[in-house]
DNA sequence: TCTGGGGTCCTAGGACCC
DNA sequence: TCTGGGGTCCTAGGACCC
């Protein structure tokens, strides 16, 4: 049997775990630059704050209803996520971390799966203060569906629901609307509705042939999984990333090339760092620029440039050199740019590099990068940078409502004042 | 003034090879 | 009446996820 453990309103729950003032209060977490809402607890949902709500459009209701807001604090969420995942290993050696707030685990045989789910939920809450929902079933897609039941009926399920009989599986599929199936998005929803299927059950009644032809092998796998035949693979080995990207919207729009060069340098450096962390090198660098598409009356421009490198590398210097070349190719003066990104692809394992007969990187880069990474890890805050980066810290994200890094920074650890009673 | 960021997988079609 | 056949690799774009 598989279980999916899904943290409820994860970012909001992380904030609440360390700040008792937030208990039972509506709370929304904002995206980078405090632009829009990316997580909200159930109290905020009940007040009608939708996912993706732009902050400036909801200012009024936020003040009126006294909704608490926080800037996103990824050091905190990333650390809390690691803790939750680590704790799950107490229930099974086989854990697939699916996203920052979700994991699948393979459960050992049990007489009472419902109770296993409750045990997991209680344990995670006790150790971290994070509430989770647990769905249990013979396949991954069915466990996701069981999790939907938990979310829709929190009182009846108390946080855990298990599909452990054929009757429950059929009942679940007949209840589950087509667009709530994991893996069915907008496109396939329309396709299936046109075919007359409204529920997961009706989807499974279509022929394999039709599903394969209209929804590709991906759709067919999903159908098998819903039929109870485990077809979507369980992957507990952590895979290296195949694409590494650093992309941001700016806090303002601007046209000044020097400014944009500096950001591209910083994005390139961040990408190269992520690349070295998984001991990969890249063969391809892509850079893109976009103006603000919400400003209809301004001159629009979006462009990208893809450069293939002469040799695979993970050197910040080389990657930035090519990123800057790409930028030169696409930058147009006079455009107000709002967003840019650096994306690395063609990733290969660094230790399995093909050396070229003629073109190879200066070996000094390797030593320099190793030294830079060591120093930056030891002292934190990325103290060692390229000269082309933002040495003056002339720009930074707008994060007006940022909470402390309770778990990853010594100066932010909560201090208890104990008095004798 | 102000609307996120980072991924995965699959398919079709073109280029190229013998 | 009637275009050769079989294959690989790469890329752009679509669809979906959290």
Domains of chain A (ranges plus CATH)?
A: 1-163 (3.30.70.270), 165-236 (1.10.150.20), 244-379 (3.30.1490.100)
Instruction: Indicate if CB(A183) is under 7 A from strand C.
Output: yes
Q: Which nucleotides of B are covered by protein (CB under 7 A)?
A: 1-11
**C7 C1' to A240 CA distance, Å:** 30
User: What's the per-residue H, E or C state across A122-147?
Assistant: HHHHHHHCCCEEEEEECCHHHHHHHH
Instruction: Indicate if CB(A188) is under 7 A from strand C.
Output: yes
Q: Which residue's CA is nearest to the C1' of nucleotide B3?
A: A54
Q: Which helix (H) or strand (E) holds A214?
A: helix A208-226
Instruction: Indicate if CB(A360) is under 7 A from strand C.
Output: no
pLDDT per residue, tens digit, chain A (421 aa), is 999 999 999 999 999 999 999 999 999 999 999 999 999 999 999 999 999 999 999 999 999 999 999 999 999 999 999 999 999 999 999 999 999 999 999 999 999 999 999 999 999 999 999 999 999 999 999 999 999 999 999 999 999 999 999 999 999 999 999 999 999 999 999 999 999 999 999 999 999 999 999 999 999 999 999 999 999 999 989 889 999 999 999 988 989 999 999 999 999 999 999 999 999 999 999 999 999 888 888 888 888 898 988 889 999 999 999 999 999 999 999 999 999 999 999 998 888 776 776 777 888 999 999 999 999 988 877 888 888 887 766 677 889 999 999 998 888 999 888 776 5
User: CA nearest A15: which of A76, A66, A63, A83?
Assistant: A76
Q: Which helix (H) or strand (E) holds A249?
A: strand A244-254
Q: Which nucleotides of C are covered by protein (CB under 7 A)?
A: 11-12, 14-18
Q: Are strands A132-137 and A160-162 parallel, antiparallel or unpaired?
A: parallel
Q: Which residue's CA is nearest to the C1' of nucleotide B4?
A: A31
d(CA A129, CA A152): 21
Number of other CB atoms surrounding residue A409 within 10 Å: 12
d(CA A332, CA A334): 6
**B11 C1' to A201 CA distance, Å:** 27
A96, A63 contact by CB (below 8 A)? no
**B7 C1' to A247 CA distance, Å:** 13
**B10 C1' to A318 CA distance, Å:** 32
**C10 C1' to A153 CA distance, Å:** 48
Instruction: Indicate if CB(A400) is under 7 A from strand B.
Output: no
The token pair that represents A248 in the structure block: 């941001």
Instruction: Indicate if CB(A182) is under 7 A from strand C.
Output: yes
**B4 C1' to A266 CA distance, Å:** 18
User: CA nearest A34: which of A65, A59, A6?
Assistant: A59
Q: Extract long-range pairs of A190-199: CB within 8 Å, 24+ residues apart.
A: A191/A215, A199/A173, A199/A174, A199/A175
């Amino acid at each position: 049997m598989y279980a999916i453990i899904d943290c409820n309103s994860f970012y909001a729950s992380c904030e609440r775990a360390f700040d008792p003032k937030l208990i039972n209060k509506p709370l929304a977490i904002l995206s980078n630059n405090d632009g829009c809402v990316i997580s909200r607890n159930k109290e905020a949902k009940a007040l009608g704050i939708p996912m993706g709500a732009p902050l400036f459009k909801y200012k009024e209701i936020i003040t009126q209803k006294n909704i608490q807001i926080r800037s996103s604090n990824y050091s905190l969420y990333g650390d809390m996520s690691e803790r939750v995942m680590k704790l799950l290993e107490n229930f099974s050696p086989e854990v697939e971390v699916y996203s920052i707030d979700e994991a699948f685990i393979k459960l050992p045989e049990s007489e009472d799966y419902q109770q296993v789910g409750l045990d997991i939920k209680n344990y995670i809450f006790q150790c971290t203060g994070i509430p989770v929902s647990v769905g249990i079933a013979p396949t991954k897609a069915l466990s996701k569906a069981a999790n939907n039941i938990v979310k829709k009926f929190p009182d009846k399920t108390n946080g855990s629901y298990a599909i452990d009989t054929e009757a429950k599986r059929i009942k679940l599929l007949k209840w589950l609307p087509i667009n709530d199936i994991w893996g069915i998005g907008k496109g396939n929803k329309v396709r299936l509705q046109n075919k007359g299927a409204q529920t997961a059950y009706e989807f499974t009644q279509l022929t394999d042939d039709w599903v394969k032809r209209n929804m590709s092998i991906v759709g067919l796998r999903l159908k098998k999984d819903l039929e109870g035949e485990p077809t979507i693979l369980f992957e507990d080995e952590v895979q290296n990333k195949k694409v590494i990207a650093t992309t941001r919207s700016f806090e303002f729009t601007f046209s000044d090339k020097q400014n944009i060069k500096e950001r591209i340098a910083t994005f390139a450096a961040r990408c190269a760092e992520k690349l070295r962390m998984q001991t990969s090198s890249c063969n391809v660098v892509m850079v893109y620029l976009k103006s603000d598409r919400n400003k209809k009356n301004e001159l629009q421009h979006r462009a990208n440039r893809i450069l293939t490198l002469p040799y695979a590398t993970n050197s910040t210097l080389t990657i930035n050199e090519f990123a800057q070349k790409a930028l030169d190719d696409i930058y147009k003066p006079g455009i107000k740019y709002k967003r840019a990104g650096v994306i690395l692809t063609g990733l290969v394992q660094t230790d399995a590099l093909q050396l070229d007969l003629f073109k190879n990187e200066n070996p000094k880069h390797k030593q320099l990068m190793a030294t830079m990474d060591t120093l930056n890890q030891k002292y934190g805050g990325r103290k060692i940078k390229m000269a082309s980066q933002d040495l003056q810290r002339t720009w930074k994200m707008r994060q007006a409502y940022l909470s402390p890094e309770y778990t990853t920074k010594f100066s932010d650890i909560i201090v208890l004042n104990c008095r004798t009673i």
